[in-house]
Chain A
């Protein structure tokens, strides 16, 4: 079947448009109907396994089914929200200082951030708009410091589409852990839009763990940063047959700081791609980005890192580093920094390395009597350390280190 037909069939299978998100649903569906699924000629999707993207549309959308996943115990003081159905968001208790956006506020803000981030017509966003039937829309009130966990479990042979909007008011600070879980033959589509007002801060931990055969995921982060705001992203992608992760961060007036530490680990025949974009719309912005990838077996890891520094973004300081470790001859890593710098008084650096585990490091450990498997584990842990050590204790409950080691120490 042609991909346009697959997409249209999927659109037909969706429930009728309704509720708060009706306008969005109509918009997303019309867009998809018209544009369909991208082809290999589309630069942003050139390296993507489009056959697997098509498979994404073969799964029915979950509306009511609940899943009861085994989750790690939660931290006492941190509220955990489980988005396990698309329409149960209304009954959630919220921690102090975090309130729900009114319908009017949702109306005002919806689409605003994705528009700023220029992803209104992105495929992942259109799919989310077409499929999501509700959204979690929150505000962290002025000067409040709070923590929150959002978990998106999966359902076998189903697609789940989830959407979150958070407005972080002036002087507020949020520690947000998002966990996206995959399952055998499941598809996840997640979109989070965040507006960071002046002097606010978001410490965003994003853990995305697929599991079992043919789990796929499309995740988009649309982050709008006000002046003097701070955004930290620590992310991890692992275990997806097909995943595409798109963090889009716009510093609205510059004068803000963005830190991204990302790791993606692929094994078997998986394909995981990260397409990040950071744009500075004013002067004195800061970016520190470290993207790490490890690929083994016949897997494929893709990174495309765009940084845009227009003329009005003088005195920007941006550093991007892509470090890659390839553990098998059949594995493939594509990494591409894309810097578009128009301003002339800036300091922007980028670099990319692809390496193998160092024989001399391994020999040093072996020469101390350390077993080969343990030595490899130590070296891999060492490689993961500068990303993983940034995750909070709370995030580390998800035992991803074991998963990473198991996937790559062969």
Chain B
């Protein structure tokens, strides 16, 4: 566990969110400090992906109340591109295919946007190719994927590797990985998990959104949160994920009900 005087990178307070007039989040609270790895688990429809999209600034979601602060700055007013440039990264559950747009060019333009924000020089095509070649090794990805259109015709595993590749290039401060483990076979899962581990550092934080314990066997979380009905209803350590795997979400529901009864 990290020391208590570590800097708070992300703090979410009483966040209420709706999409197309349907309320999804009912008061989420979460504090993420530097060096920490958090896992958010929960059933489909519990609000996990909504939470990640809201942090990244997806325009379809309306924040009804509450706040999301990144290093103390309210980010809810910032455009999604600005959020990304200051160091918030969302690894998509379903990475989008963009026909006709070269993956290499996409990665280069993204990387330069972040580098600009950091006051670093922009990389030209040659310099970028050197950088990307190194990063490819991290996710054991075939360089041929750089020549193709963004995610087009990639298998599920290739898409997720491409997400981790982007994470490596953008060097985020807070990375939220939305079901990066879904659709991966055992080998791909190990590669992706090892990438996440290598990219973790004492000055950044990672939030893993997942259904399964298996990713958490590879990437050890400091905190495990359970979401249900648009709220975090329970927080614990990695043991909570193991219990959950054994007993399923019903147990959580029961214990939650018992708590409510006890109140």
Residue of A361, A365, A367, A381 most packed against chain B (CB within 10 A) = A367
- The verdict on A339 contacting chain B, using a C-beta distance below 8 Å, is no
- The verdict on B84 contacting chain A, using a C-beta distance below 8 Å, is yes
Q: Across the two chains, which residue of chain A brings its CB closest to B96?
A: A364
- The reply to whether A382 and B59 contact each other, CB–CB distance below 8 Å, is no
- The verdict on A107 contacting chain B, using a C-beta distance below 8 Å, is no
Q: Chain A residues near B85: list those with CB within 8 A.
A: 369
Show 5 residue pairs from A and B whose CB-CB distance is below 8 angstroms, ordered by the A residue. A364-B95, A364-B150, A369-B84, A369-B114, A378-B106
Return the contact of B101 from the options A366, A371, A378 (Cβ within 8 A): A378
From known contacts A361-B96, A382-B99, A383-B100, infer whether A366 and B79 are also in contact, taking CB-CB under 8 Å: yes
Q: Chain A residues near B122: list those with CB within 8 A.
A: none
Q: Across the two chains, which residue of chain A brings its CB closest to B82?
A: A369
Interface residues in A, total, Cβ within 8 A: 24
Known A-B contacts: A364-B96, A381-B100. Give 4 more (CB < 8 A).
A364-B92, A367-B58, A372-B81, A382-B101
CA distance A361 to B149 in the complex (A): 13
* Residues 86-136 (chain B) with a chain A CB within 8 angstroms: 90, 92, 95-96, 98-101, 105-106, 109-110, 113-114, 117
- The reply to whether A369 and B170 contact each other, CB–CB distance below 8 Å, is yes
Interface residues in B, total, Cβ within 8 A: 30
Return the contact of A381 from the options B101, B114, B117 (Cβ within 8 A): B101
Q: Taking the nearest CB of chain A, how far is it from the CB of B170, in angstroms? A: 7
Return the contact of B110 from the options A369, A384, A385, A386 (Cβ within 8 A): A369
Residue of B101, B106, B110 most packed against chain A (CB within 10 A) = B101
- The reply to whether A371 and B113 contact each other, CB–CB distance below 8 Å, is yes
Q: Taking the nearest CB of chain A, how far is it from the CB of B121, in angstroms? A: 16
Q: Chain B residues near A45: list those with CB within 8 A.
A: none
- The verdict on A92 contacting chain B, using a C-beta distance below 8 Å, is no
Q: Chain B residues near A366: list those with CB within 8 A.
A: 57, 79-81, 84
- The verdict on A144 contacting chain B, using a C-beta distance below 8 Å, is no
Q: Chain A residues near B79: list those with CB within 8 A.
A: 366, 372
Residue of B57, B85, B95, B98 most packed against chain A (CB within 10 A) = B98
* Residues 45-96 (chain B) with a chain A CB within 8 angstroms: 56-60, 79-81, 83-85, 90, 92, 95-96
- The verdict on A329 contacting chain B, using a C-beta distance below 8 Å, is no
- The reply to whether A361 and B113 contact each other, CB–CB distance below 8 Å, is no
- The verdict on A342 contacting chain B, using a C-beta distance below 8 Å, is no
- The verdict on A370 contacting chain B, using a C-beta distance below 8 Å, is yes
- The reply to whether B81 and A371 contact each other, CB–CB distance below 8 Å, is yes
- The verdict on B204 contacting chain A, using a C-beta distance below 8 Å, is no
- The verdict on A368 contacting chain B, using a C-beta distance below 8 Å, is yes
- The verdict on B180 contacting chain A, using a C-beta distance below 8 Å, is no
- The reply to whether A385 and B100 contact each other, CB–CB distance below 8 Å, is yes
- The reply to whether B101 and A363 contact each other, CB–CB distance below 8 Å, is no
